[in-house]
Chains A and B, each alone.
Chain A
Amino acid sequence: QVQLQESGPGLVKPSETLSLTCSVSGDSITSYYWTWFRQPPGKGLEWIGYFYNSGSTKDINYNPSLNSRVTISLDTSKKQFSLKLTSMTAADTAVYFCARHSGRTGWDPDYRGQGILVTVSS
């Protein structure tokens, strides 16, 4: 059974950098696309970006609204992929989700984490 689990701090101060990790168990992490998206409390969904890295092939795409602040990367040895978001503000308070990206159809139904709430506050 495939499991994805987000981990990281639940509280970040304004202007700091958020670092989240998604651990994948039960399946390979290579040769797949992986993605992050988020949901502010009581609000809708927003794509953050997706990442693919296999050998010499790399495909990365970030939401232009976050482009200059976001980095997604993969650590195949740990079977993890990560999200870094710099210059955090209150507007970045949200539940952050990781999932296996399925391209233009979103994410695979059985390959998604439960989400982690990140609050930006001093």
Chain B
Amino acid sequence: DVVVTQSPLSLPVTLGQPASISCRSSQSLVYGDGNTYLNWFHQRPGQSPRRLIYAVSNRDSGVPDRFSGSGSGTDFTLRISRVEAEDVGIYYCMQGTHWPWTFGQGTKVEIK
């Protein structure tokens, strides 16, 4: 299985400041159709994970534009331009290029 590694695993942030999460895969995530299937999810305590970004950089409907995704090949980043209180929780990256789809370990974002 493709191993997906996130860092850091814990991210204390100050409200209004930027935050960044790294996601690296053990194989290239470029699929045969030319797309790269690296997706980001956010999970609040007691809730199911909700997708934020799909295929590297496409924000889902209703996701604030302070969230952005970037990267290519095996190296990807989720950025929050200005952290708000509602952004706390665990962020997971997920690769959908190689079956079985696999997830990173999760990055816990909390307010300092």
- With contacts A44-B105, A45-B92, A45-B94 known, is A105 near B50, CB below 8 A? no
Are A105 and B48 in contact, with the CB atoms below 8 A? Answer: no
Is A78's beta carbon under 8 Å from chain B? no
- Interface: A10 (CB within 8 A): no
Q: Which residues of B contact A97 (CB under 8 A)?
A: 48-49
> B61 touches which one: A103, A109, A113 (CB < 8 A)?
A109
A55 at the interface (CB under 8 A from B): no
Interfacial residues of chain B within 1-54, with CB under 8 A of chain A in the complex: 1, 31, 35, 37, 39, 41, 47-51, 54
Find chain B residues with CB under 8 A from A108 CB.
51
Asked if B103 and A105 make an inter-chain contact with CB atoms under 8 angstroms apart, the answer reads no
User: Could you tell me if B99 and A105 are in contact, using CB atoms closer than 8 angstroms?
Assistant: no
Q: Is the interface of B mostly helix, strand, loop or mixed?
A: loop
Query: What 1/0 flags go to A86-122 for Cβ under 8 Å of B?
Result: 0000000000010100111111110011110000000
Asked whether B51 lies within 8 Å of A106 as measured between CB atoms, the reply is yes
Asked if A106 and B94 make an inter-chain contact with CB atoms under 8 angstroms apart, the answer reads: yes
B51, A104: Cβ atoms closer than 8 Å:
no
Is A115 a contact of B48 with CB atoms below 8 Å?
yes
Q: Which A-chain residue is minimally distant from B96 (CB atoms)?
A: A104
Q: Nearest B residue to A107 by beta-carbon distance?
A: B51
Cβ-defined contact, A44 with B103, below 8 A: yes
A106 touching B54, Cβ below 8 Å: yes
B64 within 8 A of A: no
- B106 → A minimal CB distance (Å): 5
A44 and B96 within 8 A (CB)? no
Instruction: Using A44-B106, A65-B1 as known contacts, list a sample of 8 further A-B pairs with CB atoms less than 8 Å apart, ordered by residue number in A.
Output: A44-B92, A45-B103, A47-B101, A65-B100, A102-B51, A104-B31, A106-B54, A106-B94
